[in-house]
């Protein structure tokens, strides 16, 4: 069975010499597949252009390879000394020098013209139907729908593969790994089919990169800079990618999932998301009990903080500060609120604490209250209300 799969993969791989993507991989899965030898099948027009360019340039390279080495080996074997051949005595040939200058030049021009057109198309983000901002952070993605249908929707997207499937350093996983292991998230980015989507990309800590191979889009997300790209998916489905910059300890755990749906389903999704946002909208005047805040804070901590500070609050030595016994957590709550909102660079630790302004006032109040009442922490100011966060945010 193993050899049969390998033979099947080799047959598919031979289709690299054709410009028809469907021959290379007939099944579109939106993710890497076993024994895949070629690029993922594209589902965008620009992706099909890139795929075709890739195949034709590989064909040109193969022809050059066969031609050059064929002539070389023919010359070596047919004109060897043992057959009585003697080396040529000429030193220069104007015709040969002109030929080996002009021919490569024409080949390069022939490859550059279609490639230039595709590169120009890649950079044309004008006339987008929907604009979405993606913010990379250690280690998740934040999405804000800025323009078009869905404007105002905002959410965080975290890895949803459970730790029981992943395991820990030196500890094996306790559950079998699923089909989309490390390529699944709790909140997918949703877009309509056939619409031009402009992606605006940045980061709030280190350099990340947003890529979906099936869309032929890859763009770095750099702190303090705004980069952009675009795609227009032609097929409904779920498409997966990863952060492709080495962004830190959990670089492998920040996948990207985009669900492409029909126009009607997208409209329904937008309506549902806006209802959820309205239901979850903060009331800064609400006074929470400490138990309510701790319960909510535990969920916020698990979704956003546990990767760095760990479930036991001990952090990671020389990398991420511990919260258990922390002077910041046990000190004045105003300072901890400021750290959560604006971040903090601690020289004793390699990784700076990023700001978390994208979290709601109640989320920040809850997670601070949770950390001040958990592990060995017994802070004097042990509760923070959303109104206090809102006041600090407006300073």
Tokens of 184: 């699944």
Contact 219, 201 (CB under 8 A): yes
Q: What is the pTM of this model?
A: 0.72
Distance separating alpha carbons of residues 219 and 133, to the nearest angstrom = 12
Share of the chain above pLDDT 70, in %: 93
pLDDT at 17 over 70: no
Contacts of 374 (CB under 8 A, 6+ apart): 294, 298, 313, 324
Q: Tell me the CB-side half-sphere exposure of residue 162, using CA atoms within 13 A.
A: 8
Distance separating alpha carbons of residues 192 and 266, to the nearest angstrom = 6
**To 5 degrees, how large is the angle CA 244–CA 256–CA 250?**
55
The predicted-structure confidence for 329-367, as pLDDT tens digits, reads as follows 999 999 999 999 998 988 888 888 888 988 889 999 999
The predicted-structure confidence for 83-126, as pLDDT tens digits, reads as follows 888 887 777 788 888 988 999 999 999 889 999 999 999 999 99
Contact 335, 342 (CB under 8 A): no
The predicted-structure confidence for 18-53, as pLDDT tens digits, reads as follows 444 434 444 678 888 888 888 899 999 999 999 999
Give 16's DSSP letter: G
Distance separating alpha carbons of residues 40 and 33, to the nearest angstrom = 9
pLDDT at 242 over 90: yes
Q: Is residue 342 helix, strand or coil? A: helix
Distance separating alpha carbons of residues 302 and 156, to the nearest angstrom = 13
Contact 253, 271 (CB under 8 A): no
């Amino acid at each position: 069975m193993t050899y049969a799969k390998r033979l099947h993969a080799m047959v598919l791989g031979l289709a690299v010499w054709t410009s028809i993507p469907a021959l290379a991989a007939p099944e579109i899965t939106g993710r890497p597949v076993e024994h895949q030898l070629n690029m993922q099948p594209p589902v965008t027009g620009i992706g099909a252009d890139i795929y075709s360019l890739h195949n034709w340039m590989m064909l040109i390279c193969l022809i050059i390879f066969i031609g050059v080495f064929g002539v070389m080996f023919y010359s070596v074997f047919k004109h060897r000394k043992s057959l009585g051949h003697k080396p040529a005595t000429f030193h220069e040939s104007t015709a040969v020098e002109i030929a080996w200058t002009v021919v490569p030049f024409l080949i390069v021009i022939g490859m550059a013209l279609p490639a230039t057109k595709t590169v120009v198309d890649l950079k044309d983000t004008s006339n987008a139907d929907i604009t979405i901002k993606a913010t990379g952070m250690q280690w998740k993605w934040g999405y804000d729908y800025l323009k078009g249908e869905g404007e105002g929707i905002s959410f965080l997207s975290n890895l949803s593969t459970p730790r029981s499937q992943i395991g820990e350093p030196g500890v094996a996983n306790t559950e079998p790994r699923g089909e989309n292991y490390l390529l699944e998230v709790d909140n997918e980015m949703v877009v309509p089919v056939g619409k031009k989507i402009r992606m605006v990309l940045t980061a709030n800590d280190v350099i990340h990169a947003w890529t979906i191979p099936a869309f032929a889009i890859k763009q770095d997300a750099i702190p303090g800079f705004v980069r952009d790209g675009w795609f227009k998916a032609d097929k409904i489905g779920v498409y997966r990618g990863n952060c492709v910059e080495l962004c830190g300890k959990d670089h492998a755990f920040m996948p990207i999932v985009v669900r492409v749906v029909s126009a009607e389903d997208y409209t329904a999704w937008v309506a549902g998301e806006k209802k959820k946002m309205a239901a979850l909208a903060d009331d800064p005047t609400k006074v929470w009990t400490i138990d309510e805040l701790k319960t909510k804070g535990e969920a916020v901590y698990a979704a956003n903080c546990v990767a760095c500070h760990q479930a036991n609050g001990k952090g990671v030595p020389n990398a991420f500060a511990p919260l258990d016994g922390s002077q910041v957590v046990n000190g004045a709550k105003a300072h901890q609120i400021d750290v959560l909102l604006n971040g903090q660079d601690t020289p004793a630790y390699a990784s700076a604490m990023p700001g978390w302004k994208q979290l709601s006032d109640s989320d920040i109040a809850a997670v601070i209250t949770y950390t001040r009442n958990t592990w060995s922490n017994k802070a004097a100011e042990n509760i923070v209300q959303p109104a206090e966060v809102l006041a600090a945010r407006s300073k």
